[in-house]
Structure 1
């Protein structure tokens, strides 16, 4: 893996931003289990009294916008400036900013919730503990976290995608138990693991957690 994996990810998603936005604009429309997971996450945050929610690795912002429709004070952060530009065009009036989950520019204990929706998949194993430490730092005690990711036990180099454009990113597939173990080590209580499409070629998973007090 390139030592410049973060720069490779930024460049790759800058390249595919327009095609990615077109292809995923209605990505939630036929995903009832994803919709139910997001609704449950929103219910938890509202029940806890609400507050800011960060969609980290937001891409073109379709999940961020959906969370706002569910009544959350959601904003998006993405590594790719082109993705942030697309998100701002697609969802005017919603806050989007360029940033990295490896170094979140957010105040300590400033968030009621944080979501990383199929964005953790490009973070190599040795960087995940630091990312989760950032997640814990920016969440208030008891703050809610939901992760969505591909399930497996390998890393694949993605060289093309979203309209055939060139990319150079690794996609890391992990079992939910490994992700949950990292979360516990980082100071989270894991409340649920849900497997999505277990019989398909590329299953997914949700993990619900909350920051320990």
Structure 2
């Protein structure tokens, strides 16, 4: 199957700037507590369900994977960019990282206790989002949890393209994303919207949706 152009472009863009991205993102993550406020809640819910493997999809340099691991979660990272995966392995040698595509994860059906996609869907155009959500639903066990973080769009239509520092990105409408989740057996549990910050790269709201996989 021919790879979509947006995926090829995204991989190439992150490979090209992997070192610079990996140097800046972990510190920004620590400096913006509201943008990872739901990670401890997600971890607590996973552990309360008995634990199990959790995939950090679009893991980048592995900062969220490491955060989850520190919270007691059996987390591993998956990223489209081989360059980012190499840097994640270097920074966190005790954790597992692999190259993968989020629309087609190398994971068995219902094998995961949780999935985190922290600003991983922002380069996915709106027409490609249903396939991503369907894949998350496929790999999650009943009762498993999904945490999505993405730039939010509250205008007319499902999404708005914008000029991201790496490559073309999209602000997705939270209600539309929540509707897609429900269509694939993922019921919304909680939602957090973070107001725009002063950073021009974050000049719009950020949305975080927490969902639970219902029985198939």
In the alignment, structure 1 residue 190 sits paired with structure 2 residue 191: no
- Match of 1:181? 179
State the distance in 2 between where 1:27 and 1:49 align.
31
Alignment of 1:113-192 (within 5 A): 113-152=114-153, 153-158=159-164, 161=165, 167=166, 169-192=167-190
2: CA distance, partners of 1:199 / 1:24:
16
Gaps of 5+ in 2: 154-158
Query: What is the number of equivalent residue pairs in this alignment?
Result: 204
Q: How far apart are the structure 1 equivalents of 2:194 and 2:163?
A: 23
1:198: Cα distance to partner?
A: 4.6
How far is 1:28 from its partner?
Answer: 2.6
Query: Which region of structure 1 is more displaced relative to structure 2, 138-147 or 200-209?
Result: 200-209
Give the aligned partner of residue 100 of structure 2: 99
Runs of 5+ unmatched residues, structure 1: 162-166
Tell me how far 1:185 sits from its aligned partner. Answer: 1.3
For 1:180 and 1:199, locate their aligned partners in 2 and report how far apart those are by CA, in whole Å: 24
Q: CA deviation at 1:58?
A: 0.3
Structure 2-normalised TM-score? 0.90
Structure with greater proportional strand content: 1
Dislocated runs of 4+, deviation >4 Å: none
The equivalent of 1:164 in structure 2 is none
What RMSD in Å do the two structures reach over aligned CA positions?
1.5
